[in-house]
């Protein structure tokens, strides 16, 4: 039986911020530098350079980045925006608050991305925009989706939160549409503790977003302290030694008794509510402490992308001939960054227990299928592929800090599970 060493268990994820960087943020906060904006412009320029675009605007959250975008676009009230349903529910909330009507279309069951044919079928006389979410850091045929939007005169928006540096035919995801937005939250490959950022082709549109972002109030010191402390705790809890000795046994104990508790601990907003207004706690101005953190992540992003991609391809090489139906279909022309490595395991808890007993902590996606959520019953749609993916897809850890030795060993553990299943 393959079992990882007791001193080197694999966590489901790790932060991309390093411990000294988080501590540096806390020192700067204690020195009263939370309200400065000097580094924000430098971070925006660095992000724009990475994306090969002219400019970017930093925001407090990805959901606020989207809200500011649709406000700046001035779409008519009641306009339909077509989107896939696997996303955080507050993305849907901000679209509704902005006066738009989300129309859900199902995902492709193998790529997990928007299906161009389903997009075409969903377009009506009220459709004004399309929102593409690049799930798990995998690329889809953006040429086809871009062509559909151009032919129909639709605004194309992209959520690239999982897909920093991913590309389709050499062009970065997030730059095909009229605008793209990204989350900079704790677990993202580019993290500022919490935050979001917008890129756009139209300078006037980007300026409209900037005016809204710069009108936000100064970040509350206590709020920023809470964000930094949470990042500090997660960083320490997933450190290889501490995770193996203490965090992993605790997670296993809680998971056996209350799996939902673990899920709630991993999200910043465990309360699933339909909102009628933007909460004030989402509205604060991006600051220099966050920008410093983001610049650190950008400085090593390409290196860590390649390490994560290398880990993912080890898993693909082991599993593609044994269980191709459990793996994502990677499209020719795609450059995939594998923010998460999706692996279908309809066995659910049985699979998670098998992996945990051998030293690998993993989870399903935290994202819901919004098309079936009771709070959005008035815009509900049948999206069976998305619902099945939320139930069955598990994330095999491929974080860049995992060694090649451990990735190979984890792949053999998965093979052992499959062999036992026959």
- State pLDDT tens for residues 63-78: 999 999 999 999 999 9
Q: Around Cβ 304, how many Cβ atoms within 10 Å?
A: 17
Q: Which residues, in sequence order, are CB contacts of 385 under 8 Å at separation 6+? A: 106, 107, 108, 109
Cα(319)–Cα(316) distance, integer angstroms: 5
pLDDT of residue 266: 60
Residue range 334-361: mean pLDDT, rounded: 96
**pLDDT above 70 (res 243):** yes
Q: Which residue has the tokens 């009506």?
A: 124
Could you tell me the strand order of the sheet in which 167-168 lies? Answer: 171-172, 167-168, 334-335
Residue range 334-363: mean pLDDT, rounded: 96
Cα(142)–Cα(331) distance, integer angstroms: 11
Cα(268)–Cα(316) distance, integer angstroms: 32
Residue 255's pLDDT band, with cuts at 50, 70 and 90, is confident
Cα(143)–Cα(407) distance, integer angstroms: 34
Paired strand residues for 393: 344
Comparing 32 with 382, the larger pLDDT belongs to 382
pLDDT of residue 268: 59
Fold of 19-214: 3.40.640
**pLDDT above 90 (res 251):** no
Residue range 229-239: mean pLDDT, rounded: 95
Paired strand residues for 127: 80
Residue 82's pLDDT band, with cuts at 50, 70 and 90, is very high
| Share above pLDDT 90 across residues of the chain, in percent, rounded to a whole number | 90
**pLDDT above 80 (res 261):** no
pLDDT of residue 286: 96
Residue range 306-323: mean pLDDT, rounded: 97
pLDDT of residue 263: 61
Q: Which residues, in sequence order, are CB contacts of 89 under 8 Å at separation 6+? A: 272, 368, 370, 373, 375, 376
Cα(132)–Cα(91) distance, integer angstroms: 12
**pLDDT above 90 (res 214):** yes
From the list 22, 11, 143, 63, the residue with the least C-alpha distance to 410 is 11
| Share above pLDDT 70 across residues of the chain, in percent, rounded to a whole number | 96
Paired strand residues for 102: 81
Beta strands in 299-380 (DSSP E): 334-335, 341-344, 363-364
User: Three-class SS string for 250-317?
Assistant: HHHHHHHHCHHHHHHHCCCCCCCCCCCCCCHHHCCCCCHHHHHHHHHHHHHHHHHHHHHHHHHHHHHH
pLDDT of residue 38: 80
**pLDDT above 90 (res 207):** yes
pLDDT of residue 269: 61
Name the residue ranges covered by the structural domains of the chain: 19-214
Chain centre distance of CA 418: 28
Q: Which residues, in sequence order, are CB contacts of 329 under 8 Å at separation 6+? A: 108, 110, 111
User: Cα separations (Å) of 267 from 88, 187, 215, 222, 264?
Assistant: 10, 10, 27, 19, 6
Q: Contact 287/216 with Cβ under 8 angstroms?
A: no
Gyration radius of the chain's alpha carbons = 21
pLDDT of residue 252: 83
Give me the phi and psi of 278, to 5 degrees please: -70, 125
Residue 196's pLDDT band, with cuts at 50, 70 and 90, is very high
Instruction: For 8-48, write each residue's pLDDT tens digit.
Output: 999 999 999 999 999 999 999 999 876 667 899 999 999 99
Cα(334)–Cα(312) distance, integer angstroms: 14
Residue 265's pLDDT band, with cuts at 50, 70 and 90, is low
Q: Which residues, in sequence order, are CB contacts of 1 under 8 Å at separation 6+? A: 358, 416
DSSP of 164-204: TT-EETTEETTSSSSEEEEE--TTSSS--SS-EEEEES-HH
Residue 394's pLDDT band, with cuts at 50, 70 and 90, is very high
Residue 1's pLDDT band, with cuts at 50, 70 and 90, is confident
pLDDT of residue 42: 95
Q: Which residue has the tokens 């980045």?
A: 65
Q: Around Cβ 408, how many Cβ atoms within 10 Å?
A: 16
Q: Contact 33/242 with Cβ under 8 angstroms?
A: no
Instruction: For 137-183, write each residue's pLDDT tens digit.
Output: 999 999 999 999 999 999 999 999 999 999 999 999 999 999 999 99
pLDDT of residue 242: 92
Is the alpha carbon torsion for 238, 244, 249, 252 positive or negative? positive
**pLDDT above 70 (res 197):** yes
pLDDT of residue 37: 76
Residue range 402-415: mean pLDDT, rounded: 97
Q: Which of 213-217, 252-256, 268-272 has maximum average pLDDT?
A: 213-217
pLDDT of residue 267: 62
Paired strand residues for 80: 101, 127
Residue 260's pLDDT band, with cuts at 50, 70 and 90, is low
């Amino acid at each position: 039986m393959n079992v990882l060493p007791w001193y080197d268990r694999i966590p489901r994820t790790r932060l991309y911020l390093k411990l000294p960087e988080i501590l540096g943020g806390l020192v700067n906060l204690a020195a009263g530098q939370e309200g400065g904006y000097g580094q924000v412009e430098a971070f925006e320029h660095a992000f724009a350079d990475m994306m090969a675009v002219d400019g970017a605007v930093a925001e407090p959250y990805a959901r606020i980045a989207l809200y500011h975008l649709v406000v700046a676009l001035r779409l008519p009230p009641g306009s339909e925006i077509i989107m896939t349903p696997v996303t955080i529910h507050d993305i849907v909330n901000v679209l509704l608050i902005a006066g738009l009507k989300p129309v859900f279309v199902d995902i492709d069951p193998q790529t997990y991305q928007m299906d161009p044919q389903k997009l075409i079928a969903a377009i009506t006389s009220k459709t004004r925009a399309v929102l593409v979410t690049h799930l798990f850091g995998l690329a889809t045929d953006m040429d086809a989706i871009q062509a559909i939007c151009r032919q129909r005169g639709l605004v194309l928006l992209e959520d690239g939160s999982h897909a920093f540096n991913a590309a389709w035919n050499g062009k970065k995801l997030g730059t095909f549409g009229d605008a793209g937005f990204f989350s900079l939250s704790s677990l993202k490959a580019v993290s500022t503790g919490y935050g979001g950022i917008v890129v756009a082709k139209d300078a006037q549109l980007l300026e409209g977003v900037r005016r809204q972002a710069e009108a936000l109030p100064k970040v509350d010191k206590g709020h920023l302290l809470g964000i930094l402390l949470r990042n500090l705790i997660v960083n320490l809890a997933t450190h290889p030694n501490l995770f193996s000795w203490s965090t992993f046994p605790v997670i296993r104990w809680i998971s056996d008794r209350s799996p939902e508790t673990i899920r709630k601990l991993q999200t910043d907003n465990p309360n699933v509510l339909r909102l009628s207004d933007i909460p004030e706690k989402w509205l604060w101005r991006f600051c220099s402490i966050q920008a410093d953190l983001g610049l650190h992540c950008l400085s090593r992003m390409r290196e860590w992308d390649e390490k994560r991609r290398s880990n993912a391809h080890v898993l693909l090489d082991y599993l593609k001939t044994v269980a191709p139906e459990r793996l994502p279909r990677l499209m020719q022309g795609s450059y995939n960054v594998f923010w998460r490595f999706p692996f279908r395991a309809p066995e659910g808890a049985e699979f998670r227990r098998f992996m945990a007993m051998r030293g690998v902590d993993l989870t399903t996606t935290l994202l819901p299928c919004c098309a079936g959520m009771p709070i959005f019953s008035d815009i509900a749609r049948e999206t069976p592929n998305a619902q099945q993916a939320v139930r069955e897809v598990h994330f095999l850890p491929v974080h860049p800090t995992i060694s090649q030795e451990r990735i190979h060993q984890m792949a053999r553990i998965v093979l052992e599970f499959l062999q036992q299943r026959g």
